Amino acid sequence: MTEFSEVMRAALQAMEQGDRVALATVVRVRGSAPRHEVARMLVWADGRIVGTVGGASLEQKVIEHAREALETRYGRLESYPLTRGGEPDSLGLCGGEVQVHIEILESPTTLVIIGAGHVARPLARMAHELAMRLVVIDDRPEYANPQSFPEAQVVALVGYDPGTERLDPMPLESFGPEAHIVVATWGWDEPALAQVLAMEPAPAYVGLVASPAKHRVLRERLAARGLPESALEHLRSPSGLDLGAETPAEIALSILAEVLMVRRVASGEPLSVTRPIRAKPS
């Protein structure tokens, strides 16, 4: 297997497993350098690598920048001097310069909607427009079916007994830490959240469609079930950004806005605040 094939196969496998990885590619070389254009290296958040862009100090710096890019989820283009003059920022003595493009590779966002009611339908439609992988779970076949949710890759029925409040295990094990989960059931939020918040590792996002009063009651009940405070802290409720939402479609929009904010590690502030346009000096 060639180095290129090894890196690409590892990248595909990582995305299939739900891992987020950085692909570092040498895109330009000036003068002498340890590797030339299209040399590639795959970097994980824990520092593991497949492939190489040159080894030694250069490679360690690329790994450092790749891990930073994984944390922010933004790619970058970096230049690395390899000059002979002993400059402070030089990473070698080859006498050249290397440019490396670092891009983030990740599988599509998985949105799991637990509860196929009024908010779920516009939420599913909007998630489809954002190219998200969609999973819908409910206990009612008349609600959770492919006809009601044609956008969903998975529509799953789960058994729930209102008398005993017993909920069968939901199919959550295959989603992993990159899952974004929204809970909005007709009456079994508590047992659903008990399963979701017990997931290891924790999902990227857990939102509950509920009033503040309902949130407080459910949080107390979940704590009484033995869920630790560290797990309860993952719960975002009421789910969504403050848009003044009232209708199901407006609520769905506010939820997806928060999901995107979490996924992109963004502030959620108005762009007019984060990227103000300055008036030209007179």
pLDDT tens per residue, range 159-180: 999 999 999 999 987 777 789 9
- Tell me if the pTM is above 0.85: no
Contacts for 62 with CB less than 8 Å, ≥ 6 apart: 24, 41, 43, 53, 78, 80, 100, 102
Provide the 10 A C-beta neighbour count for residue 274.
10
Query: Quick check: 88 pLDDT over 50?
Result: no
Share the mean pLDDT of the chain.
89
Strand stretches in 33-95, DSSP E: 40-43, 49-51, 76-82
Among residues of the chain, what percentage have pLDDT more than 90? 68
The CA distance from 97 to 90, in Å, is 9
Beta-bridge partner residues of 114: 137, 183
Helix (H, G, I), strand (E, B) or coil at 205: strand
- SS3 state of residue 135: strand
pLDDT of residue 102: 96
**70 pLDDT exceeds 70?**
yes
At residue 130, φ and ψ (nearest 5 deg) are: -95, 15
CA distance 118 to 209: 11
Angle between helices 248-263 and 120-129 (to 10 degrees): 50
Place of tokens 């719960």: 235
pLDDT tens across 140-156, in order? 999 999 999 999 999 99
> What confidence score (pLDDT) does residue 264 get?
85
